[in-house]
Structure 1
Amino acid sequence: MDNRTYAVVDLETTGHSPLKGDRVIQIAIVFIENGAISRKYARFVNPGRDIPSFIQQLTSITDKEVASAPSFEQIAQEVSDLLQGTVFVAHNTDFDLSFLQSEFKRCKVPTWSGKKIDTVELSKILFPSSSSYRLQDLAEDLNIPLPTAHRADDDAEATAHLLLAALSKLHSLPEETLNLLHRRSFSLRSDISSLFYEALKSVRQDNKSVKLPLFRGIPYRDVKKTVESVALRTMFPIQEDEKIQLLEKGYPSFEYRKPQLEFMDTAWNALQSSTEVIAEVPTGIGKTVGYLLPAAIHSFQTGKPVVISTFTNHLVDKILEDEVQRIRDILDIDCTAAVLKGKEQYISLGKFEELLRITDESYDETFTIMQILVWLTETGTGDLNELNVSGGGQLFIDRIRKRNSKMSEDEKVADYHQKMMDACSKTNLVITNHSMLLSDSQREQRILHSYSGLIIDEAHQFIHTAVRSNEIVLSYMNWKYVIGQIGSDAEGQLLHKIIKLHNRFSNFGQQIVNQLAYSYDQFTSVFDKVAFLLSSHRPKTRGGQHGNRVVFALAEVRDEPIFARVAEKMSDYIESVQTIQTQLEVHKPKMSKKEEALLAEWEYWLRELKIKAGEWVEIFLDDSNENFTVWIEKDKRSLPGSLNIVKSPIDASVLIKEFTTRMNQEKIGIVWTSGTMTIKNNERFVAQQLGISDGVPIKSFAAPRQFYDKAAIFIVDDMPSIQHVSQNDYIEAVADAVVQTVIATGGRLFVLFTSQDMLRKTYELILDSELLSEYALIAQGVSSGSRLKLLKSFRQFDKSVLFGTNSFWEGVDVPGEALSAVIIVRLPFTSPDEMIFKARAEKLNAIGVNPFTDLALPEAILRFRQGFGRLIRSSEDRGFFIILDRRIETKSYGKSFLNALPSVPIKNVSLEHMVKSLEDCYNE
């Protein structure tokens, strides 16, 4: 029994630095004894100074509330006495404990001493799949009450419940997992090792350890077996009233939408007749269930799966989590679904176990290993994307990805990817992403085969995926990292250990080691010369420089003979690395488990080097393919570290045609669908980009007439023309328009840019002005976190503004009142200096086609439509689409943008009149 007293502490303060005069304004301590909350202490504290306005907004603690409270000097001894003999717990002990100790010292009372536990560190280990480790996010995930975040009393109590939840989770882990965790816990930054020890002791005494299958001593959660799908006489609802009856079972507040029922028929007919169709299904129709229902019924009738492909892994997971259960409710049948991603998304248990044998771990590696050990006891997929690890931890994750299909017998039994592949042949619906679908179609032995239909959702993104899937990116930093793994002979590094191993087992003496060192020096010397050449090169065209960012075509330096010399010296070096591998391989039976792991690690980095060598040849020495363009990107502030060389396809349709040809040979129905598949006056633009035959019909379904009743479009006609003022002047005007709009609407805005540079400058100008100090300002590329994390932050605050570029123009759902307006800063044309666009434009020019009207304009219109699609996600949504770029009314092509949008009232107004209209609307 753990008989210690835990003191869970939270402070609210005027700032982060007690040495600079910041003081406590509220303190709360929650005591935990014998596994339960026993007592609480909470006090307001008079800081003896004004509370900064942003702290008042964050904490809701005002100067008035603390005016009659004691100073910290008056309660310091009381607080010190309460904490003596306890284990100090906080959600980020680095802040709360250090601040408190500094205050104790200032007040000349005894500082605290003892063990400390940081619930951030503990939560990261025990809840490794949480999307965020902020207290309010963890509280939401674990159903812990947190009435008011950033109030010490509520935060301390929530942290106490978090600690109890963590301890409960800890005691539920298998004994073998606890043992592996405890062994590594001594290098953590807070005293969590004692918790692992107590849990391990308790589990051993009670003899109630959870039993999971073991892979070489590592417990893991087995994948639930999929029951094989069988053909059932489930009939597709032909009549409209039959469809409505079914949909009402899945949607308690079902809203009749005739286009949804028509789309269901279109999808059904394509699947049944094994034909191909393009379907444009805008927001508001119910696209996902519109194709999932006919797909599920078709699978039941044929006894074979239907494959659903969408753009990202996030959308894949969303379909599985949200929509498949709805289909089960509608059909009242256990419709099964399996998610399949590329094998590199899954953990290689063999590689993970190998790395556990190598004891020299950094803090990041140790921490990530502990997260993985806990995650393995709960994951049902083995998908590494489920883990939330640090940047340093990500390097470790990349080393345990499944890279090839060659496995030992015990690996085959435990391999997650293999089990997912097995499930795909037995399920009704296989849900995957475009990248996986494309790469699988190119394999000789395909994973996805013998299926009865294919639905490609977010089909317009298939173009982007085809480009990215065939793109090669050579990063200087990545190259240096790979080379460094086997090139450094410093004490404790892999090369140092391999040389010792070689000296122990090999009869070839020092000669091969000397050869390795010589070939390494030769290779890195010439590689560094290339890095210097590319770093110092100045582009021949003015468009290649944008501030510190420099971009130029490889053709400007391609004739340099040094590129071939790098390939030659790299080949020599790889041969030396391979020789050591070969010589040691024959002695493997005599090696210890740790020595085998070292050799396997050497082999892994040898394989990575060979991949890099192939990429080098493809980028610098292969002139055979005219459908590719190659360019160099760099940042003048960080050379050569920022060097990236990219080889990318010019025309995706060539690649996609190969895919569709193979798919058509399967004689299955194919449905290409998206909210943006057509453009007025150029209906087949997207289809042509996709390489789809002109014989494939396009069907467009309009949203219900009333769907956009609460939407309006504003064109701000007194904005400066971006072509006639400096960028700084335009940014000032944009910042002013954003500030006024935010204040009028109360926030909940997207501000969409086409340039990261302009986004950053606008964001910083607004931030510095402090005019929106009450609002949470979230900026893509500036605020930390992924797109999904930024979006979650945006949703959590009532007063929030999100500044986004490319990826926020589409694929983002913020329904209801969470989004009130979208501001379009510039019409979303691709920059003419963007390298792929430039290469495509040159090709069109060569055949007498106008790149602007036939490429730039239709692409921009599509993106514009997608930006509008962020705003209205249901018929109850109210929102405003605000356009700041005056080209929409001054240029002849402006009407093409407006004609592409649904029939929504358009108002040309000054900024002042628009703000007044918004204020009137929100004051109603």
Structure 2
Amino acid sequence: MDAKTIYAVVDLETTSNQNQAGRIMQVAVAFVRNQKIINHFSTLVNPGQSIPIGIQKLTHINDAMVKKMPYFEDVAQTLHAMLSETVFVAHNVNFDLPFLNAEFERVGLTPLTNLALDTVALAQILWPTASSYRLGDLTQQLGIDHLNPHRADSDAKATGELLIAAQRKALGLPMITLQQLNDLPLALPRETKQIFAWALAENRRHPQPLANNLEVVDRLALRRFSAPSAYKQHQPELHYPKKEEEQKTLLAPDLDYRHQQARLMNKIYEHYCRTDDLSTNPGENAMVVEAPTGMGKTLGYLVPLAYLALQQGRQVVLSVPTKALQKQVNTTINQTLKSLLPFEVRGVQLKGQQNYLNLQSFKRSLVRDEGSIAMQFVKAQILVWLTETLTGDFDELNLNNVSPDFLRQLTQTANNPEASKFYQHEFVHRQLILSSQATFLVVNHAYLTRQINQITQQEKKPFLVIDEAQNLPDVVLQHSRHQVNWSSLIAQTELLQHSLTTNKNNDLQLILERLPKGHQLEKNFIESFAQLLIHLTNIQQSLYRQFILSVKMPATVGKDEYLVTSDNLTRFWVEHQNDFSQVKQLIQTLQVTLNEMMEAFIQVGTPFSISERQSLADFRYLVEKIGQTINTLQTFQDSMIDYAETSVFWLTDYHGQNGPSIQLTGALLHTKDYFKNNLYPSFLPPLMIGATLFNSAKSTYLYTRLNLDAKTAQVEKFKESFNWSKQAEMLLIEDGVVPSAPDYGNYLAKQILAILGKLSKNTLVLFTSLELMDRVYRLVTENKIYHESKMTVLAQGISGNKSKILKRLQNEKELMVFGALSFWEGIDLPKQQLELLILTRLPFEQPDTILQKVEEQQFTASKQSFFHQSTLPKATLKLRQGVGRLIRSDQDYGAIVILDSRIVHKQYGKTMLKMLPDELPSQVIPASQMVEQLVHFFDQQDLDNKDKE
């Protein structure tokens, strides 16, 4: 490749993703030379078959548009001539090139044998922090014009611009980085790797000085880091602006004064300004604030705490539910808050060491060939990322198909870190420097509950803010769950054993034959696998005989769960101590043997094939996966000792397999005294804040779960910020089918199809069951009404993952999205991104789990109602969160439909409705009137909006 090379950037729109069944219906080519688009070609093509409805909705190409267009054989000769003597480029070249070649061969032409490049792989390496590598998302992030996504002419031009951007990005990389990219045994699609060889040759021909913001340390090009200068933190004379005029002056000119936000600021300041008056007993004197969406709660607590932190010389530890929100709040501190205040504040994100790249470990990995294509690809991404990142936080990267074990290796601290050339450059070290100078330490709930000791070693107790505090207990309970699937362990061990004892000509055998002491390594593996199988089988059979076989239950399809008391499990552990000890010892032996095998593999100079390297990676992955069992077994032992009274253990017996199929699970049942003992002693009394904390006016549910003393807590509840009476309407369907009925899915599909036939508003349909969601999705998308509508229906897990679907909702119109429980909270879709919210079922947890049964037994024993003290509060909070997805700003408007008729007819439904916004208008109507009411509501909103204009 040189300055004269012509790149033919091709995009196809096809009737199917399979070239055996599909045909091309549009083809476009953008020709690039010397980093400029010099020509283009595009035509619609008559595919000779009908275009599927899903393809029509995606591409907006229908049968009528292609009816009079040329067939592929009419343009094939011209297209084939255009593409000869070019470098073929596509966004996913392994789709476009084989598909096009299949069409060429079908009409009697020879397939193309051009050099070929893939812009997906290039983008993944050159922009490793991009949120998505879909063409539409990439062009948006890079500022490339892309007017008609999923149309070949627009896509080809956009991909051409993307290729040019990639070439320029590669040319701008440091020479040492380009050299390392070329040295890596990368297996990229077709000849894509040649871009890095071309960029390196160009750099050698025209050497460029290293950029000022970079430095080279032990042959790694890194983004330069400078420690922040110290600043005065303790300023007791600092005046807090409590009065309205003072706060207006503080917020001006960029932010408006909000009465409720100002009241929140003052309440927080007043509560914490005299810390000597606050109790030192864990759980007492907490401040609990329910602050609805739209009132500006984040700045509402940041401003007073910034003043308090400097006046008292304390840090603020601020915990949020997710890493995404952690990043968002930290940005608010370092940009918005910092620009408001008359003094300096700093926010720093803190995460566990496993989140940060260790430079010495990564440097060592560059000379290791683990036999994995995916691992080498990640190394390439990291090489580029190091020229950009200041944090080394893996969450910045967009990584796919990466083994967690490999990432853990890249985060391990060296045995003698002070001797490393990277000692003063390691990212964990940088975070410690930054955190020591920070006002706010922003963490997520998982970090707060697991690594509290790393952030509380301070002279004065820090302030503690728990944002969206209702989520904190669930994080603790989820983290406490640990399980060992004995059947899966046995199957994995048998698979590894067979890979060494059955087919003597497989890739793994061929590798071992070429390794020094390979036969001894093979013998060690086989002996360890054989012994491990004996002890794993003994444990599983003993569990089955002792805890399952003795319990008489009718034969069922699926699975059965059996409660195991802590005392009985402890006794079983002691009785079978030899088996458990042998399992741990054998797994450790396997890990030692695997390390010896990998060292020998690295030392062999002869290159291995891609197939051999992948077989080795698969073998290594399974051995390391089995190795994780040691930690889980230790967790079981700790739980039986440290949390015997609050832990629950159970066995799951899966049917339909030969012999026992057993899984052992353990988890905390509740958070009783957990926070009192493990969290609160390290801080001042906490500030608990969130948009939906309470499930009823008098319930103690929140205080119980968070170990708070309700009598001493200062509770503040703020009114709704939005004008629900004008912005929204809720329809409650009174004659809906009962959710437990067999035909409930048909009922839901019928109502959704009725809406699709008349409305084309962005819609979110919330489900509580993936199984029900899948069934309704099939019923809807196979129906004629859907085919004739303007809307496109997407479903979580079917049409893509959550982030992919949300991105489409944010950028496209006429979408209906089916989402399960993770869609009920933490989603922000303002204005036309979401206008209609449909709740298919009240969000009660699925009944009859072991945890629910044990919890219910405890409530019954204490003469309390399990439903009213646990089930209903959880569902009410979830309902409030779901309804809160609709109105996110003053400019929003939309409708809510609840299809579950229990909200109308059950007494608990009335209780749940009382916790929704007071001003939210609601109507109880039959299903037959639903669409008419929705059309009327949106017509009226459209008229009101026109009047405002």
Q: TM-score, normalised by structure 2?
A: 0.85
Mapping of residues 242-261 of structure 1, within 5 Å: 242-251=246-255, 254=256, 256-261=257-262
Deviations 1:120-139, CA, capped at 9 Å, x for gaps: 12212222222221110111
Return the match for 1:453 from 449, 453, 463.
Answer: 463
Q: 1:106 to 1:565 in 2, by over 3 A?
A: farther
Whether contact under 8 Å (2:93, 2:189) holds in the other structure is no
The amino acid of 1:911's aligned partner reads: A
Q: 1:754 to 1:358 in 2, by over 3 A?
A: same
Return the match for 1:746 from 760, 773, 785.
Answer: 760
1:55 paired residue number: 55
1-structure distance, mates of 2:570, 2:103: 64
**SS of equivalent to 1:129:** coil
The amino acid of 2:686's aligned partner reads: I
Whether contact under 8 Å (1:116, 1:190) holds in the other structure is yes
Return the match for 2:239 from 207, 222, 235.
Answer: 235
**SS of equivalent to 2:184:** helix
**SS of equivalent to 2:933:** helix
Q: 1:681 to 1:61 in 2, by over 3 A?
A: closer
Return the match for 1:278 from 288, 291, 294.
Answer: 288
Whether contact under 8 Å (2:456, 2:462) holds in the other structure is no
**SS of equivalent to 1:772:** helix
Return the match for 1:367 from 373, 377, 390.
Answer: 377
Shift of 1:452: 4.0
1-structure distance, mates of 2:456, 2:658: 43
1-structure distance, mates of 2:67, 2:624: 64
Return the match for 2:437 from 426, 429, 454.
Answer: 426
Deviations 1:526-573, CA, capped at 9 Å, x for gaps: 21454577799689698997x746544345996699866875345346
Shift of 1:611: 2.1
User: Does residue 1:291 correspond to 2:291, yes or no?
Assistant: no
Range that drifts further, 419-428 or 65-74:
65-74
Q: 1:265 to 1:539 in 2, by over 3 A?
A: farther
2:647 paired residue number: 628
Range that drifts further, 674-683 or 630-639:
630-639
2:141 paired residue number: 141
2:5 paired residue number: 4
**SS of equivalent to 1:31:** strand
Q: 1:223 to 1:696 in 2, by over 3 A?
A: farther
User: Does residue 1:646 correspond to 2:676, yes or no?
Assistant: no
1-structure distance, mates of 2:91, 2:57: 21
2-structure distance, mates of 1:765, 1:641: 37
Q: 1:224 to 1:27 in 2, by over 3 A?
A: farther
2-structure distance, mates of 1:399, 1:369: 12
2-structure distance, mates of 1:559, 1:788: 41
2:220 paired residue number: 218
Deviations 1:198-250, CA, capped at 9 Å, x for gaps: 11112223221536445553333344533334235653221112223333434
**SS of equivalent to 1:294:** helix
User: Does residue 1:877 correspond to 2:867, yes or no?
Assistant: no
Deviations 1:723-742, CA, capped at 9 Å, x for gaps: 5xx33x11111111122234
Return the match for 1:898 from 913, 920, 927.
Answer: 913
**SS of equivalent to 1:714:** strand
User: Does residue 1:614 correspond to 2:631, yes or no?
Assistant: no
Whether contact under 8 Å (1:45, 1:70) holds in the other structure is yes
Range that drifts further, 271-280 or 347-356:
347-356
**SS of equivalent to 1:188:** coil
**SS of equivalent to 1:424:** helix
2-structure distance, mates of 1:561, 1:435: 32
Deviations 1:357-414, CA, capped at 9 Å, x for gaps: 3324222222222222222222222121222222355553344344899745425423
The amino acid of 1:701's aligned partner reads: F
1-structure distance, mates of 2:491, 2:457: 33
2-structure distance, mates of 1:139, 1:412: 38
User: Does residue 1:205 correspond to 2:205, yes or no?
Assistant: yes
Listed as ranges, the gaps of 5+ residues in structure 2 are 279-285, 605-615, 941-949
Shift of 1:437: 1.4
Q: 1:730 to 1:62 in 2, by over 3 A?
A: closer
Deviations 1:743-777, CA, capped at 9 Å, x for gaps: 44414222222222222222222223253344332
1-structure distance, mates of 2:219, 2:701: 56
Whether contact under 8 Å (2:733, 2:925) holds in the other structure is yes
1:507 paired residue number: none
Whether contact under 8 Å (1:752, 1:803) holds in the other structure is yes
Deviations 1:73-99, CA, capped at 9 Å, x for gaps: 222111111111100001111222112
**SS of equivalent to 1:8:** strand
Whether contact under 8 Å (2:559, 2:655) holds in the other structure is yes
Whether contact under 8 Å (1:710, 1:878) holds in the other structure is yes
**SS of equivalent to 1:715:** strand
Whether contact under 8 Å (2:94, 2:189) holds in the other structure is no
2-structure distance, mates of 1:485, 1:541: 33
1:682 paired residue number: 698
Shift of 1:156: 0.3
Range that drifts further, 434-443 or 574-583:
574-583
**SS of equivalent to 1:888:** helix
2:282 paired residue number: none
User: Does residue 1:526 correspond to 2:535, yes or no?
Assistant: yes
Mapping of residues 504-583 of structure 1, within 5 Å: 518-530=527-539, 548=558, 550-554=560-564, 568-572=578-582, 574-575=584-585
Q: 1:577 to 1:764 in 2, by over 3 A?
A: closer
1-structure distance, mates of 2:451, 2:330: 21
Return the match for 1:851 from 866, 887, 890.
Answer: 866
The amino acid of 2:635's aligned partner reads: E
1-structure distance, mates of 2:508, 2:737: 59
Q: 1:192 to 1:533 in 2, by over 3 A?
A: farther
2-structure distance, mates of 1:124, 1:637: 42
Mapping of residues 428-443 of structure 1, within 5 Å: 428-442=439-453
User: Does residue 1:168 correspond to 2:204, yes or no?
Assistant: no
The amino acid of 1:732's aligned partner reads: N
Q: 1:582 to 1:49 in 2, by over 3 A?
A: closer
1:713 paired residue number: 730
Whether contact under 8 Å (1:719, 1:885) holds in the other structure is yes
Q: 1:874 to 1:475 in 2, by over 3 A?
A: farther
Whether contact under 8 Å (1:125, 1:371) holds in the other structure is yes
Whether contact under 8 Å (2:362, 2:410) holds in the other structure is yes
User: Does residue 1:838 correspond to 2:848, yes or no?
Assistant: no
Shift of 1:715: 0.8
Q: CA RMSD in A?
A: 4.0
Q: 1:281 to 1:154 in 2, by over 3 A?
A: same
Shift of 1:881: 2.0
1:821 paired residue number: 836
Deviations 1:555-607, CA, capped at 9 Å, x for gaps: 59966998668753453465467689999999x9x999969xx9xx9999998
Range that drifts further, 848-857 or 54-63:
54-63
1-structure distance, mates of 2:509, 2:229: 46
Shift of 1:514: 7.0
Q: 1:578 to 1:738 in 2, by over 3 A?
A: closer
Shift of 1:885: 1.6
Return the match for 1:462 from 472, 476, 479.
Answer: 472
Q: 1:24 to 1:624 in 2, by over 3 A?
A: closer
Q: 1:171 to 1:740 in 2, by over 3 A?
A: same
Shift of 1:324: 3.7
Whether contact under 8 Å (1:485, 1:494) holds in the other structure is no
User: Does residue 1:330 correspond to 2:340, yes or no?
Assistant: yes
User: Does residue 1:77 correspond to 2:77, yes or no?
Assistant: yes
Return the match for 2:775 from 761, 776, 785.
Answer: 761
User: Does residue 1:348 correspond to 2:358, yes or no?
Assistant: yes
1:910 paired residue number: 926
Listed as ranges, the gaps of 5+ residues in structure 1 are 505-509
> Matched residue pairs, number?
898
Q: 1:391 to 1:593 in 2, by over 3 A?
A: closer
2:609 paired residue number: none
Shift of 1:627: 0.3
